[in-house]
Amino acid sequence: MCCPQGSSLPSEPQFEHTILHPLEFSGTGLHSGVHVAMRLIPAPAGSGIVFRRSDLDNYEIPATGRNVAKVSYATSLMRQGVLISTTEHLLSALIGLGVDNIIVEIDNLEVPILDGSALPYVEAILNSGIKRQRRKREYLKILKDVEVRDGSKFIGVYPGDGYSIHYAIDFPEPIGRDTFIGDLEAGDYANLIAPARTFGFREDEAMLRDMGLIRGVSDSSAIIVTRSTPDKPGSVQNGPLRFSDEFVRHKVLDLIGDLALAGRRIWGRVVAERAGHAMHTALVQRLLQDRSAWVLAHRYDEVAATAEASEPSLSSPLLHASHA
């Protein structure tokens, strides 16, 4: 067991990790509204993150870009017609805590939404413990710029040290514009990102329901916002917010979860503007297709010999918000 409670990252990021004990969750799928029971099970080094549908003969779907299905309001994986929907918050928690290998056993087609954030996963995993494995962790080291543009939406990944994220949002008021800048490698994911909840506008609810979405939404699983009009300022319907910039922090949470589908933790710099699941996963697919854009590398080889006495402080809150 490596991690005292409250510590965000494993103390030995050069190695792979799994969870120490199985953990159980149950709840409702945000979009399908189905009831789901889910179990996180420790997995051997080198096996990655694998979903397993216990209701379909334990059919397995590895969490990789190859298995990304249609993506709009949530990220879904599909393999030979078998679906796992809304994977992003759980995957974000696993990457945020440095869990490389795990089996996610689930008895239905959608990961439970819980409180709309990654916090329930993070608390349970940190309370139960994370286990260091013998195998050295391979990072997806970015070698050249890869960008995806769609009108005013943009996402790009660039060579750089650590795993830095610059995310800018621009929603209708009262959410408006905001920016978050931080580095997952050095920052405190558990406290600064994991608690940020998903959100939606009350005015979009009927349209989303007509599309067969958000059948499982409730006031306790998402921040509900009303849009500002010329006559009346919009507001948060079920406050208080957990952070004044909770919306952009949630987009960072989603980004980390979606980029987990690259199959390895990113070693580079990510910039996103007005992006969402479709842009996040498009970047993963473009990245995986361009074999010259990255290399698998052991992140700490070059510093391990010299930096033993000056390990970076893993609990210092280097993630910070910068308001536009």
**Residues found near Zn ion in the complex (CB under 5 A):** 198, 254
Q: Return all residues near 1 (Cβ < 8 A) that are at least 6 apart.
A: 20, 129, 130, 131
CA distance 276 to 44: 32
Least distance CB 74 / Zn ion (angstroms): 7
DSSP assignment of 18-76, as one string?
EESS-EEEEEEBTTT--EEEEEEEE--TT--EEEEETTTTTEEEE-SGGGB---SSS-E
Least distance CB 254 / Zn ion (angstroms): 4
Task: CB nearer to Zn ion: give 141 or 249.
Answer: 249
Catalytic position from the list 277, 280, 298, 323? 277
Least distance CB 88 / Zn ion (angstroms): 5
Q: Return all residues near 298 (Cβ < 8 A) that are at least 6 apart.
A: 14, 136, 137, 138, 139
Instruction: Name which of 13, 18, 317 is nearest 189 in CA terms.
Output: 317
Asked if 277 is an active-site residue, the reply is yes
What is the Cα 102 distance to its own chain's centre?
15
Task: CB nearer to Zn ion: give 188 or 254.
Answer: 254
Least distance CB 170 / Zn ion (angstroms): 17
At CA 218, angle to CA 214 and CA 219, rounded to 5?
135
Task: CB nearer to Zn ion: give 130 or 279.
Answer: 279
Least distance CB 143 / Zn ion (angstroms): 29
* DSSP tag of 110: B
Give the H/E segment covering residue 17. strand 15-19
Tally of CB atoms within 10 A around 57: 9
Least distance CB 202 / Zn ion (angstroms): 18
Task: CB nearer to Zn ion: give 18 or 92.
Answer: 92
Task: CB nearer to Zn ion: give 40 or 114.
Answer: 114
Task: CB nearer to Zn ion: give 137 or 251.
Answer: 251
Give the H/E segment covering residue 91. helix 88-97
Token representation of residue 98 = 């440095």
Q: Kindly list the catalytic residues.
A: 277
